[in-house]
Structure 1
Amino acid sequence: MIWISFIIAAIVVVYAAIKLNEYGDQISRQTAMSGAMVGGLLIAGATSLPELTTSVTAVYVDNVDIAVGNMVGSNVFNVLILAAVDLYYRKQQAFNQLESRQHIPSILFGIALTVTIIIAMLVDNSITLFNIGIEMFILVGLYILSVKLFEEEEPDEDVIVDEKRMSTRKVIQFFIMSAVTVLIAGSVLSITGDLIAEQTGINSSFVGSVLIAASTSLPELVAVIAAYKLANYAIAAGSILGSNLFNLLLLAFTDAFYQTGPILQGVSTSIITTATLSLGMMIILLFILMRQAKTSMIRYTLPAILIVIIYLGVSYMTF
């Protein structure tokens, strides 16, 4: 019964998050937001809502490994999604068609945020402010700095006006309804995940970093595949990189709900391993964007294959 509830909650989260993505895209088109802001902020924020609800709920059921592992594991799974989809559409060599300068800053900020949380996990007796780890304030500061990059983007000049489209007000209403659905289903996902860990004896770190993280990252998978089909590779990369930044920002909100102390101080070593995996995968992704555009198919696909192999290996170790 618990597994059935978990699967149903996962399906509802995915469906509602997909709708969030669709309505977010309509809002962006009807308000002339720039492409970078669409992928990096609006869509990324919408598809990251499941991670927020599951992690906050995990705090209330006192399962820190699921709370933090869900966020960090989702970042790992997001990069895996981008690598796997790009391997499937390898003939397009999508990464070679990206404007690297538009995406490298997001990766660098992602690396900086990930290094910050790894250090916080390793250091004992973290400095606290209002019972929140000082590292969380650093995360918020770095995220705000990254957002400034999106603000510098020029908005699209053309606004899509279509009488058949819903009004912006109605789209926003449906967006909010989808968000509420995500909040409810995400909470059920976290609670059932905690029960699965208790009843089966499966490591909570594995449940949070792999099972729940994979479930809450499925909306990103749908968004990336849709972007690839439209050959809009900038949106695909931007939504993943923006979602990873947003997930790490949400750790600060999660810590605010955790009253025992800095939340990163209570995680198991498996979460540190997952965070280190995330860091390594982003470094490989950075290499992919910085390499020369012209390359053979074997050399093009090798870094993405490496990402998939590393993920499978570390996930097995965590289990």
Structure 2
Amino acid sequence: MEILTAWLAFAICLLVIGMAGPVLTRSGSDIAAQTGMSASWVGLIMLAAATSLPELFTGISAVTIADAPNIAMGDALGSCIFNLVMLVLLDALCRDEPFWRRSDQGHILSAAFGVVLISFVGAVVLTSRNGLDLRVGHVSAYSPFLIALYFIAMRAAFFYERRPERPAQPLGPAHADRTLQRTLVNYLVAAAAVGAAGAWLPFVGQEVAAVMGWRASFVGTLFIAAATSIPELIVTVSALRMGSADMAIGNLLGSNLFIILVIALDDIAFAGGSFYAQVSPAHAVTAFAAAMMSGLCIIGLLYRPGNRFFGLFGWISLSLLAIYLLSSYAIYLHGH
């Protein structure tokens, strides 16, 4: 019964998050059409922030209430690699043309910032456990640097989108029966539902880990990361079906940048000592895997390969899938 109860609670979290995802997509699209924002900017900022709320609420509640820093770090970095492996699904869904040829090359900027930020977190996890743990009180000196880098990335993306030589990426018209005020209310309600489910997830994760005999780093990286990435999955597929590959990839890459900001906020909220020094070094494997996957994303956007294996996947997508599976297996071995 304990196992059944734990997995039932996990399924309820998935259901709530999954139901709120389409509402976020429709609301984001309507707000963009009503305000004149580009598809890339909507994906990078609005949708990325909204769909990353589970990681934010999960991380904060994990380090403040549940006292589970490994759940927080595993969820954040696991979501990064889960977001990037979603590109494999998008490539398979683009049957008429490879996904990489439908996406704007401007996403290279956010992918490159992702390589820098995620690699930095992986290095901090390793160095903080070996004496290089710089802190002001209980807050690591690395966290303000991560926060500054995030806002630098957002500022660079904003001004890049405003360049006159950038092609316009108009979205479809908003629903005629929805005012901007009503759309914002729908957006906030869906975001609140996602956040509430995310706040419950760390406790569910600890219960699943206990009844299954798994380590928290394994549960956080695979199961909770998959659950908190459900909004990204639903929003991304919905954006692609709306004909906006740029909104889809912008959401995924923007979510990864926001997740690094979440890690810095987790460190600030964690009062039990050094956050980076207390988490498992196995998380560095996930961080470096995510950085490698971001690098492959840059190659795909720049090179735009057209060949496909099995009529579904290009070599970039297969490489992304291989790195995801290998890193997940490494975390699984460490979890046992």
Q: Is TM (by shorter chain) over 0.5?
A: yes
For residues 156-179 of structure 1, the C-alpha deviation after alignment (integer angstroms, 9 at most, x for no partner) is 789946542x22112222222222
Shift of 1:130: 4.7
Query: Partner amino acid for 1:21?
Result: T
Deviations 1:222-264 (A, max 9, x none): 2222232233211111111111101111111111110123312
Which residue of structure 2 lines up, in the alignment, with residue 309 of structure 1? 322
Partner of 1:74: 79
Question: Which residue identity does 1:268 align to in structure 2?
Answer: S
C-alpha distance 58-18 of structure 1, shift in aligned 2 (>3 A): farther
Post-superposition Cα deviations, 1:101-138, rounded to whole Å, max 9, x if no partner, equal x1111011001101211121111342123522121111
CA 294–202 in structure 1, closer or farther in 2 if over 3 Å, else same: closer
Instruction: For 2:24 and 2:298, locate their aligned partners in 1 and report how far apart those are by CA, in whole Å.
Output: 28
Q: Indicate the residue corresponding to 2:238 in structure 1.
A: 226
Tell whether the 8 Å contact from 2:25 to 2:238 is kept in structure 1 after alignment. Answer: no
Contact kept in structure 1, 2:82 and 2:229, CA below 8 Å = yes
Matches within 5 A, 1:98-109: 98-100=103-105, 102-109=106-113
Contact 1:21 1:223 in 2 (8 A): yes
Judge conservation of contact 1:90–1:301 (CA < 8 Å) in 2: no
The answer to whether the Cα contact below 8 Å between 2:122 and 2:283 also exists between their aligned partners in 1 is no
Is the CA contact (8 Å cut-off) linking 1:116 and 1:135 kept in structure 2? no
SS in 1 for 2:229: helix
Question: What is the rounded CA distance, in whole Å, between the counterparts of 1:296 and 1:182 in structure 2?
Answer: 38
- Within 5 A, what are the aligned runs for 1:1-16? 1-16=5-20
- Matched residues in 1 for 2:295 and 2:169: separation? 31
* Distance in structure 2 (CA, Å) of the matches to 1:189 and 1:47: 15
Q: Tell me which residue corresponds to 1:52.
A: 56
Which is helix-richer, 1 or 2? 1
Which residue number corresponds to residue 136 of structure 2?
129
Distance 1:94 1:77, change over 3 A: same
Structure 2 unaligned residues grouped into runs of 5+ = 163-167
Shift of 1:301: 0.7
CA separation in 2, counterparts of 1:199 and 1:260? 25
The separation in 2 between residues aligned to 1:170 and 1:162, in whole angstroms, is 11
The answer to whether 1:273 aligns with 2:285 is yes
2:115 paired residue number: 111
Structure 1 distance, partners of 2:306, 2:185, is 47
Question: What CA deviation, in whole Å up to 9, does each residue of 1:31-56 have, x standing for no partner?
Answer: 22222220100011110001111111
RMSD of equivalent CA atoms: 2.2
- SS of the equivalent of 2:253 reads helix
Would you say the 8 A contact 2:73–2:283 is kept in 1? yes
Q: 1:199 to 1:119 in 2, by over 3 A?
A: same
C-alpha displacement of 1:90:
4.9
Paired letter, 1:212: I
Query: 1-side partners of 2:146 and 2:274: how far apart?
Result: 13
The answer to whether the aligner puts 1:183 opposite 2:195 as a matched pair is yes
**More displaced, 91-100 or 2-11?**
91-100
Give the aligned partner of residue 63 of structure 1: 68
What letter is aligned with 1:141?
A: A
| Contact 1:106–1:146, Cα closer than 8 Å, also in 2 | yes
C-alpha change, 1:234 and 1:163, in structure 2 (3 Å) is closer
Residue in structure 1 matching 2:307, options 287, 293, 296: 296
Question: How far 1:63 sits from its partner (Å)?
Answer: 1.0
CA separation in 2, counterparts of 1:294 and 1:55? 37
In the other structure, the counterpart of 1:258 is 270
Matched, 1:29 2:29: no
> Unaligned regions of 5+ residues in structure 1, if any?
none
Determine the C-alpha separation between the residues in 1 that align with 2:94 and 2:175: 32
Cα distance change, pair 257–87 in 1 and its aligned pair in 2 (3 A): same
* Aligned CA distance change for structure 1 residues 224 and 178 (closer, same or farther; 3 Å): closer
Q: Matched residues in 1 for 2:176 and 2:81: separation?
A: 41
Q: State how far apart, in whole Å, the 2-side matches of 1:75 and 1:158 are.
A: 27
**Distance (Å, rounded) in 1 between the aligned partners of 2:185 and 2:120:** 37
Q: Which moved more, 1:82-91 or 1:193-202?
A: 82-91
